[in-house]
Amino acid sequence: MFKMQVQDDDSDPNVWHDVKRPDGSVMTFSTHGEARIRMEEMYPVLVKMERFAAGPKRTRVISILEDEDDWPLKPK
């Protein structure tokens, strides 16, 4: 699974937030390509600026890793 993040604060490039649906849930995608296409549709100016190095990186698609060891332990 993949999700999109956007950096909104020019003064702090370390602050990113997840892109969410209108209901408040995080938008997720099954492939990186799907997420990238949606990112370009939602943030066309930022994506194009990044392509031409006209500004700092403001968008990203990241992997959502699943917890395989079932942590925290579920009560029996």
The pTM assigned to this predicted structure is 0.72
Q: What are phi and psi of 16, to 5 degrees?
A: -120, 150
Distance, in Å, from the CA atom of 41 to the CA atom of 54, rounded to the nearest integer, reads: 19
Distance CA 56, CA 76 (A): 49
- Predicted pLDDT at 49: 80
Residue 5 to residue 27: CA distance in whole angstroms: 10
Over the stretch 4-60, which tens digit does the pLDDT of each residue have?
999 877 777 788 999 999 999 999 999 999 999 999 999 888 888 877 776 677 888
pLDDT attached to residue 21: 95
Helices (H), 11-67: 32-42, 44-51
State the pLDDT at residue 14.
82
